Amino acid sequence: MEVFINRADRATNIYFYLFYFFVFFGFGSLFPLLSVYLKDVVGLTGSQIGIVMSISPIVMIIVQPIWGMVSDATRKPIVILTTSLIFAAFFGLIFSFLENYYFIILISVLLAIVQSAVVPLSDSVAMNYVQRTNIEYGSIRLWGAIGFAVAALVVGWLSETVHLKMIFYSFAIVFCISAFMALQLPKESDSLHVSIKDGLLKLKKVPQYFLFLVCTFLILGPILANNIYFGIFVDELGGGLAGVGLAFLLGAGSEAPFMKAVGHFIQKLGIHKVLCLAALVSALRWGLYVFEPPLWAVYATIFMQGFSIGLFIPASLQYVREITPKSVGATAISLYSAIGNGLGNWFCTFIGGMILEAFRVVGVYMFFTACTVIGMSLLLLIPIMNDRKG
């Protein structure tokens, strides 16, 4: 019986690996080059690009709790996840036919609505699974980084050799594959048990948690918004579409080993020092880009992305789980995701678009540097807050 369970778990692990690989392959197909498509093919202005690209994170803030309630009510997160993936593929194809700015806004909203269910539902199912099997979440999530990296190279090459619309076709195809993989995942019926009202009452007793949310807003926001503007930055440095793909391949690919090793870093340094170190490296990276280094220097220092993202994202998730009561763990993670992945991403993407139009992409990275430095400074205050509480 034990052998059977182990074999079943191994098969489930493979489905999780493939699911995360293809989902993030889809994200890597579309979003790194979407801003370039809107600028070069459709001809939108910097502020218009900022508005379009900021739709997804702001919709996430509003819609994610609704997806959670639907999941709780139906007790069928896998069905919802599969359906959302299929509709996202459909809307991605529709996007490729649009040139009118207002129609692009409309389809971006529809795409964001269905897409916003993908990450929280899949992460919820994955977290339930790793808690049951004692498998590290990072060993599953790193396959998403690999998928994103491979997509950036492959789709970047296809976009340059065929047409930029390949980003939409690739996105649609792999999301349909992801939908099939989702059907193979465990039918966890207790995902997303989130009570925001009750959770907030208990979280009020953990003030350092809310300070960490502000830190997440300021540090994770630029990290995620960089996916929108990094393609324009590399393109302006003369990298071309293939160069953009190579940069995203190296950057996203470098995340995987750090996600695999995050447990070792935490054990050696402590989780708070790992978060501070990741934030520092992120700030140094944005600061470097302000000076418009040669393209080879961008490629040579791309490992900084792997270090900052590969450590900060899994470490921050673990940190939230450690400093908050277990009874409101899901609520804490839900709010963390909404603030960092949603609000912070939207704010940096939206403001970045306006800065892009006025000061070019260098101004965007100056803004990212300032946000990250402030966030890191606040992060350093958390131990002081803990000492006073003690």
User: pLDDT per residue over 237-257, tens digit each?
Assistant: 887 767 776 777 777 778 878
Q: How confident is the model at residue 171 (pLDDT cuts 50, 70, 90)?
A: very high
Q: Which residue type sits at 266?
A: I
Residue 272: how many other CB atoms lie within 10 Å:
18
How do residues 369-383 score in pLDDT, each as one tens digit? 999 999 999 999 888
Sole residue written with tokens 């093919």: 41
Give residue 205's pLDDT.
77
Closest to 179 in 3D by CA, of 26, 72, 64: 26
CA 201 vs CA 195, 320, 324, 332, 336: distances in Å: 10, 16, 12, 11, 16
How do residues 196-239 score in pLDDT, each as one tens digit? 566 667 777 778 888 999 999 999 999 988 877 887 888 888 87
How do residues 182-199 score in pLDDT, each as one tens digit? 998 887 554 444 455 666
Residue 322: how many other CB atoms lie within 10 Å:
9
Sole residue written with tokens 């778990």: 9
Measured between alpha carbons, how far is 283 from 305 in angstroms, rounded to an integer? 11
How do residues 42-100 score in pLDDT, each as one tens digit? 888 877 887 887 788 778 777 876 776 676 667 778 888 999 999 999 999 999 898 89
pLDDT at 177 over 90: yes
Give residue 4's pLDDT.
42
Q: What percent of the chain has pLDDT over 70?
A: 88
Coil, strand, or helix at residue 137?
helix
Measured between alpha carbons, how far is 381 from 39 in angstroms, rounded to an integer? 41
- Tell the burial category of 161 from Cβ atoms under 10 Å away from its Cβ (0-12, 13-18, 19+): exposed
Closest to 313 in 3D by CA, of 367, 349, 244, 260: 260
Residue 83 near residue 139, CB atoms below 8 Å: no
Query: What's the CATH fold of domain 2-186+193-389?
Result: Growth Hormone; Chain: A; (1.20.1250)
- What are the phi and psi torsion angles at 237 (to 5°)? -80, 0
Give residue 3's pLDDT.
40
Q: How confident is the model at residue 329 (pLDDT cuts 50, 70, 90)?
A: low
Q: What percent of the chain has pLDDT over 90?
A: 25
Measured between alpha carbons, how far is 306 from 254 in angstroms, rounded to an integer? 4
- Looking at residues 260-264, what average pLDDT do you find? 79
Measured between alpha carbons, how far is 12 from 9 in angstroms, rounded to an integer? 5
CA 288 vs CA 35, 182, 231, 247, 298: distances in Å: 22, 40, 16, 15, 9
Sole residue written with tokens 């001809």: 43
Give residue 68's pLDDT.
65
The first and second tokens of residue 84, run together, are 């959302």
